[in-house]
Structure 1
Amino acid sequence: MRKETLPIVAALDIGTTKICAIVARKNQLGKLEILGMGQADSQGVMRGVISNIDKTVEAIKLAVAEASKKSGIKIHHVYVGVAGQHVKYLRHRGYLMRDHVHDEITQADVDKLVSDMHRLALPPGERIIHVLPQEFIIDDEQGIKEPIGMSGVRLEADFHIITGQIAAMQNIHRCVEKAGLKAVELMLEPIASAAAVLNDEEKEAGVALVDIGGGTTDIVIFQEGIIRHTAVIPLGGNIITEDIKEGCMVMREQAEKLKVKFGKALAIEAQENAIVSIPGLRGRAPKEISVKNLAHIIQARMEEILEHVYFQIRLSGYENKLIGGIVVTGGGARLQDLQYLAEYLTGLDARIGLPAEQLSVNSQRSEFNDPMYATAIGLLVKATERNPVPTEEPEPEPAALPAEPAFEATPVVVAQEETEETQPAESAGQNGSWLENFLRRSREWLEGDIKDFQ
């Protein structure tokens, strides 16, 4: 019998700067065991939206092939993240009138209320991605989080509805299918990142997750374990790279390396006399870049992004209710001293979000414990919480052939050999006895004729 194992799932993060594919399974302790990871440069995505189908398909194939090679798993099904400036958010209240006041409210009643929200009239070209219940109201009794089991006639609920452009999501499906894969589910990336770097205690206390990607910065605010506010800021790490490119007069690749290796979000922490030498073009003299000036360029743009973040926090109305402060994650969170700049501008506690709590011991010590992989790991966490679709298709077990006893072959051969050897002898004996009988009878007949003649 085949040993029962936990299903293997795969996640695909289609970002502005990179496309990442990760294969993992949950171990017996409920932690993710990373089996393989592959990534490729994303040249067909701008601000979270696919702008070139062919380049995106090629990048997906490269990332998936690398992950498949490292893990030894043939990838068929993936959970895909969706983000970008086209994602919008709205609030709506729905209600359901029940027939009997004495009957308990069941999960079917809540599901019907949620399904009614999916029929909500939207602007042309938009589609609902997630319907997130906020709070329930039963017969004017407000503030109910778990209505199942209660009694009442009128069931109401406030919903946080996340929508996106149909064309943008169809392009994601098209790219995944052209890469030879099947998208099991599209999931909002900041919600996935929250599953990777936040725990239940922080969500209950109140926390703002800031996911700084390459093209956009996504914000999700939790309070009492419920998503209260979401927003997308059309600024990310790529615009910082462009600022360094123009401010330091270097190539884009060099600007990205300067940002990653020597970038600081606080200029006051940079050394005054530190200099980085950049190779010149076609025999020109190397260019010297001041680390202090580099930090000033980065800080100016990061202040702008964090001011937009703080504006969204104030707009949500939960500025004074975020006990957990701000958690910064994503590729942009790799900048040094970023959490101190966030604390200085917002007045809230801040930390860098790492997906360590979701990973097994071996995976925590590896490269995966990095904020840039928070979205992909969060997709895996969300996939394993539901009924996961295994990424590999099980191979059919070979049919068992009936075992032939070893002793049958030898007797048959021996019997055939004996038959072949004995058959001529028996035939010879039979032929000999017939001739003797013929001669004897002939002699007796001749002797009888001779006697009669005498």
Structure 2
Amino acid sequence: MMNTNDIVFALDIGTRVVVGIVATENNGKLEILASEQMEHQERAMFDGQVHDIDKVAHVILSIKEKLENTLKIKLREVAIAAAGRSLKTQFARAEKSLAEDHEITLEDIHSLELEALEIAHKSIVSKSGITDYHTVGYTVSNYYLNGLPIANLKGHRGKEMAVEILATFLPFDVVEGLYASVKKSGLEVSYITLEPIAAINVSLKPDIRMLNIALVDIGAGTSDIAISKEGNIIAYSMVPYAGDEISEEIARHFLTDFATAEKIKKSTKKEIKFKDVLGIEHTISREEVLEVIKPSVKTLAQKICEEIVKYNGKSPSAVFLVGGSSNLPMLPEEIASFLKLPPNRVSVRDIKSVEILHSRPKKLKGPESITPIGIAYSAMINKRKDFVKVYVEDKLVKIFNIKSPTVMDALLAIDYSSQNLIPQSGKDLTFTLNGEKMTIKGEEGIPPKIYVNGTLANLKTSIKEGDRISIIGGKKGKDAFITVRDLVKGAENKEIYVNGKLADPDYSIKEGDEIRVEDSIKSFSITVNGKEVLLKGKREYMFIDLFNFIDIKLDNNRVPEMKINGKKASYTDLLHPGDVIEII
């Protein structure tokens, strides 16, 4: 009997069909040992989501037993994928004011991105009312410095930085519905991914992902979209319109049940025979069917293209189609037309384009095989782990294992506030000095430190099963503090008024204080009888004070004649800089 530790059992639980694959690794490639597929007897799933757990579990169990009988093994674990229907994609922007002369660090940028993710999550929750989501991932759309776009914030200084992201989330209940169906069939989930990711893993080589490619997995209930650019998946989305809508149009037009409409849709014969719901037999041509479905196919193409442009911002370089309904006639041509692409830039990917296969099985041929093969391959290269379990401050956290998880993913899973990672600066001190508003900045705080297994880390540090994450709190900066003496040069020789009252030069300035500083001793020059005289030592001078600075002989019996700037003066007149004095 085969060792089940060396195999991967993968299920593609679709809206219409469930496909099961058992495979193993052979020199780094996927070798498929057996495959089975079965349609749901009744509509137990809608738009990629489980609605009747028992009915879905029955189909899974049937496929499981067939594969076990074929391979003479017992299957206990399975890899699955969640459909793109349930993905919630949200744009978000986060902004942060910067301290003067602060140089932006990577930690600042990562904290800002985490804040944007929190904003995106809150927005999704407010729209849907669902509170529990797995974070699938995010892509930075733009960075901004002082309101202007910038490629890289690191090392810059400014008043404000901002980031815009495109984040994707998956509701917990979608995952739980899949888990429940699998468990009822006697299996445990060993690995879970997303259908668009699974399809991309086998249909787009890493070097092709550098291009701007849209991959569309068109199933029965949904058309799942993933967009790649510069080596990364920048967006996921979906259209709740796919193959079922085409079948329903056929059923309406020819008055058939859904199963008959499906057969008519899939038939490639020139003449197609069927019975309508009244039991009347009909023979129609393939051309008649194409004419009936043409408007629905055009609508499907338009909806897919609008969603691609919405998240890509423009038409991509190419579009790859997978999934059973990608075989719909006229669909590639309609998509190329809407996106204004050459027809050869829209391609249906089938098993011939999959390079990770050791051999090509006979049962799996068309584009509908891409996703189940992708699930098996993704499970193989990710060691079949559905969730990565780590500890944050001794609290167990489960992280959805669809990409290489980081510290940021773990903190998001426990709703850790990004504000806790931002160093707290001391309070600024604002006051007025001689009527002019002044602000003294508080001291910058020391940021918290993140450790993974005792080693210094950051938000983007990769984590693995069993890792322990701890966060050592930072230190708040000191509040701004300054005395009048530190603020005003030569304050000891000046008169200091705080809020209208005379104060000491060592006074510690408080928030909102009004400071007025005046010279306590004035000195200036005047002219006396044609000679310059410097007055110093007092705040103000009367005419009589002048006699302390000049040597003049007066007749004791005569009152001198005194003038200031040509006008008669008295001993108590105040003197001013530049006055011309005459004493006769």
Whether TM exceeds 0.5 here: the answer is yes
Question: In structure 1, which of residues 357, 362, 365 is the aligned counterpart of residue 359 of structure 2?
Answer: 362
Tell me: CA distance 1:221–1:172, structure 2 relative to 1, closer, same or farther (3 Å).
Answer: same
For 1:94 and 1:72, the matched residues in 2 are separated by 56
RMSD: 3.8
Tell me: CA distance 1:279–1:338, structure 2 relative to 1, closer, same or farther (3 Å).
Answer: same
Are the equivalent residues in 2 in contact too, given 1:277–1:289 (CA < 8 A)?
yes
SS in 2 for 1:245: helix
For 1:290 and 1:5, the matched residues in 2 are separated by 49
Tell me: CA distance 1:189–1:157, structure 2 relative to 1, closer, same or farther (3 Å).
Answer: farther
Tell me: CA distance 1:251–1:136, structure 2 relative to 1, closer, same or farther (3 Å).
Answer: closer
Question: Residue 197 of structure 1 corresponds to which residue in structure 2?
Answer: 203
Residue type matched to 2:21 in 1? I
**What is the TM-score of this pair, normalised by structure 1?**
0.69
Question: In structure 1, which of residues 127, 134, 140 is the aligned counterpart of residue 139 of structure 2?
Answer: 134
Matched length: 363
Residue type matched to 1:308 in 2? K
Question: Residue 51 of structure 2 corresponds to which residue in structure 1?
Answer: 51
Question: Residue 215 of structure 2 corresponds to which residue in structure 1?
Answer: 209
Tell me: CA distance 1:227–1:142, structure 2 relative to 1, closer, same or farther (3 Å).
Answer: farther
Are the equivalent residues in 2 in contact too, given 1:61–1:179 (CA < 8 A)?
yes
SS in 2 for 1:259: helix
- CA shift, 1:182, in A, is 1.0
Tell me: CA distance 1:160–1:138, structure 2 relative to 1, closer, same or farther (3 Å).
Answer: closer
Tell me: CA distance 1:137–1:289, structure 2 relative to 1, closer, same or farther (3 Å).
Answer: closer
User: Is residue 328 of structure 2 the alignment partner of residue 332 of structure 1?
Assistant: no
Tell me: CA distance 1:78–1:161, structure 2 relative to 1, closer, same or farther (3 Å).
Answer: farther
Question: Residue 295 of structure 2 corresponds to which residue in structure 1?
Answer: 300
Residues 386-425 of structure 1 correspond to what in structure 2 (within 5 A)?
386-388=382-384
Residue type matched to 2:378 in 1? K
Question: Residue 23 of structure 1 corresponds to which residue in structure 2?
Answer: 22
- Structure 2 residues without counterparts, runs of 5 or longer: 97-101, 387-584
Residue type matched to 1:217 in 2? S
Q: Deviations over 1:322-376 (max 9, x none)?
A: 22x111110101234532332233222200012442443532x523232112211
Deviates more, 1:18-27 or 1:208-217: 18-27
Question: Residue 247 of structure 2 corresponds to which residue in structure 1?
Answer: 241
- CA shift, 1:105, in A, is 7.4
For 2:288 and 2:10, the matched residues in 1 are separated by 39
Tell me: CA distance 1:341–1:70, structure 2 relative to 1, closer, same or farther (3 Å).
Answer: farther
For 1:15 and 1:306, the matched residues in 2 are separated by 21
More helix by share: 1
- CA shift, 1:20, in A, is 1.6
For 1:254 and 1:307, the matched residues in 2 are separated by 26
Tell me: CA distance 1:10–1:92, structure 2 relative to 1, closer, same or farther (3 Å).
Answer: farther
SS in 1 for 2:9: strand
Question: Residue 60 of structure 1 corresponds to which residue in structure 2?
Answer: 60
Residue type matched to 1:257 in 2? K
SS in 2 for 1:319: coil
Are the equivalent residues in 1 in contact too, given 2:138–2:166 (CA < 8 A)?
yes
Tell me: CA distance 1:105–1:86, structure 2 relative to 1, closer, same or farther (3 Å).
Answer: closer
- Structure 1 residues without counterparts, runs of 5 or longer: 264-273, 391-454
- CA shift, 1:158, in A, is 6.2
Residues 269-284 of structure 1 correspond to what in structure 2 (within 5 A)?
274-278=270-274
For 1:5 and 1:278, the matched residues in 2 are separated by 45
- CA shift, 1:190, in A, is 1.4
Tell me: CA distance 1:9–1:228, structure 2 relative to 1, closer, same or farther (3 Å).
Answer: same
- CA shift, 1:297, in A, is 1.9
User: Is residue 322 of structure 2 the alignment partner of residue 316 of structure 1?
Assistant: no
Percent same amino acid at aligned positions? 22
More strand by share: 2
Residue type matched to 2:324 in 1? G
Question: Residue 507 of structure 2 corresponds to which residue in structure 1?
Answer: none
For 1:142 and 1:76, the matched residues in 2 are separated by 51
For 1:24 and 1:256, the matched residues in 2 are separated by 30
For 2:143 and 2:258, the matched residues in 1 are separated by 57
- CA shift, 1:55, in A, is 0.6
For 1:85 and 1:156, the matched residues in 2 are separated by 31
Question: In structure 2, which of residues 361, 378, 382 is the aligned counterpart of residue 382 of structure 1?
Answer: 378
Question: Residue 435 of structure 2 corresponds to which residue in structure 1?
Answer: none
Are the equivalent residues in 1 in contact too, given 2:168–2:235 (CA < 8 A)?
no
Are the equivalent residues in 2 in contact too, given 1:136–1:155 (CA < 8 A)?
no
Tell me: CA distance 1:115–1:368, structure 2 relative to 1, closer, same or farther (3 Å).
Answer: farther
Deviates more, 1:350-359 or 1:4-13: 4-13
Q: Deviations over 1:207-251 (max 9, x none)?
A: 111111101111111111222222211111111111111112233
User: Is residue 67 of structure 2 the alignment partner of residue 70 of structure 1?
Assistant: no
Question: In structure 1, which of residues 250, 254, 265 is the aligned counterpart of residue 256 of structure 2?
Answer: 250
- CA shift, 1:185, in A, is 3.3
Residue type matched to 2:167 in 1? I
Are the equivalent residues in 1 in contact too, given 2:202–2:370 (CA < 8 A)?
yes
Where relative contact order (Cα < 8 A, 6+ residues apart) is larger, the structure is 1
- CA shift, 1:132, in A, is 2.3
Structure ID, larger Rg? 2
Are the equivalent residues in 1 in contact too, given 2:323–2:371 (CA < 8 A)?
yes
Tell me: CA distance 1:37–1:112, structure 2 relative to 1, closer, same or farther (3 Å).
Answer: farther
